[in-house]
Structure 1
Amino acid sequence: MRSLLVIHNQARATERQAAAASKTLLPEYVLRSSGYTITKAHSEEQANKLIVEADACVLDVPVPLIKSWGTSLLKRKIVPLLWWCSDSTATLSVEACDDNVMVDGVLSPSMNPLEIHWMLHFGSKQCFERQQWSMERKELLSRIEERKWIDMAKGILCELKGIAESEAYDMLRKQAMNERKRIVDVATSIVKVYQLIQDQKGGAKR
């Protein structure tokens, strides 16, 4: 991991220029001095272009802005997100201390090159684990949704044909095999057709 994208809040650009005398505290200076290649962005448009070539992103912004920046960046590329905790960003983040902030690590001006190296290393590992968890969560939610459709279809078949749940499931499975479809697709079709018929009956009664 060598190429880092540093993001500064556009509203703080003037403030940062005024603080040029203390540039040794700026993330780009500290990280470049530690051997990393640095690119900078002040706007979402700039960041979305530059993130493609970056190995990680360092957010030099107050905590309340991390979520919006992270959401935007991760749509373009999955990279570790690290927060730059300086006197300025910490002061602007006091009221957000209890927020559930999704970052993979924290960097600060006081860190030496070895500490920065290890924080980036662990941040990369954290990013990978977070993505794995997100994928597993999506898969679990998808299975729950599929189970819901299958259970509804079984209930409909049990009601219409007067059969047990196990028999209803066998019917779904056999129909899926015959039509070369997934069971959940067959189940979804049955439920939607049944609901459509019920809606038509209800309309006719009115």
Structure 2
Amino acid sequence: MRSLLVIRMENIINDPDQATSGLFPEIMLEENGYQVQIADGDSSARVLRLLGEADAAVLDLPIEEIPEWEKLLSQSRPIPVLWWCSPQTASSSAEACETEIAIDGILTPSMRDRELHWALHFAAKQCMERQQWASERKQLQSRLEERKWIDMAKGILADMKNISEAEAYDLLRKKAMNERKRMVDVATAIVKAHQLLQS
């Protein structure tokens, strides 16, 4: 991870003396060998354009604004998202911390070089795990949806043909094999045809 995109609201820090005190993430990151691009949080088009070149995004924003940026970033492409926790961005109320946000790590102005490198490393790892969990969740939801259609079709076939659900399942499986279709596709067709005939 070498290239980072810092996203901040233009008005978050107004005091130029804070730049020398290390409260800007880009100063600390550049001092530690990272390439940094800065994007004004008011321009989402620029953020998305710069995101294509970045290995991670650092949000220099109050915690209340993270969810909307997190959503925008996740729609673009999977990328580690870190929060720059400084006195300015952490000045929110305790209720803001209860908001569900999926950030992969936190950076602070007091971090030393090794702490910074490890935080970025673990953020990349956390991002990969988060993407894997999202993929597995999507697959499980898809399987549950397929199972629902198959169970409904089994019930319809069992009632119509006056057979057990096990026999209805075998009938459904054979029909899918004969038509060279997926079982869920055959089941969906049966359920929709039955619903059409019932209405």
TM-score by length of 1: 0.92
CA distance in 2, matches of 1:94, 1:138: 32
Structure 2 residue ranges without an equivalent (≥5): none
For 2:128, the equivalent position in structure 1 comes to 128
SS in structure 1 opposite 2:52?
A: helix
Other-structure match for 2:29: 31
1:68-104 Cα deviation digits (max 9, x unpaired): 1011012112110000000000003543022222100
SS at match of 1:87: coil
Partners of 2:180 and 2:16 in 1: how far apart? 67
User: Runs in 1 of length 4+ with deviation above 6 angstroms?
Assistant: none
| C-alpha distance in 1 between matches for 2:109 and 2:63 | 17
What is residue 15 of structure 2 aligned with on the other side?
19
TM-score (norm 2): 0.95
Task: Give the counterpart letter for 1:67 in structure 2.
Answer: P
Report what 1:104 is aligned to.
104
When the two structures are aligned, how many residues end up with a matched partner? 195
- Which residue of 2 is the match for residue 90 of structure 1? 90
Percent identity among equivalent residues?
54
- DSSP 3-state at the match of 1:31: helix
Structure 1: gaps of 5 or more residues: 200-206
Structure 1 position 30, deviation (Å): 1.1
CA distance in 2, matches of 1:94, 1:164: 57
Shift of residue 188 of structure 1? 0.2
Give distance in 1, aligned partners of 2:34 and 2:78.
19
Q: Is the 8 A contact 1:64 1:93 kept in 2?
A: no
SS at match of 1:58: strand
Partner of 1:41: 39
Is 1:170 matched with 2:170?
yes
Partner of 1:203: none
The whole-number CA distance in structure 2 between the counterparts of 1:145 and 1:30 is 48
**What is the identity, as a one-letter code, of the residue corresponding to 2:18?**
S
Query: 3-state DSSP class of the match of 2:98?
Result: coil
Amino acid at match of 2:133: W
Letter in 1 for 2:81: L
CA RMSD of aligned residues (A): 1.1
Q: Which one is further off, 85-94 or 131-140?
A: 85-94
Cα deviation, 1:23-47, whole Å, max 9, x if unaligned, reads 1210111111111000011121111
Q: Distance in 1 between matches of 2:33 and 2:16?
A: 21
| 2:82 match: secondary structure | strand
* Residue 144 of structure 1, CA deviation: 0.6
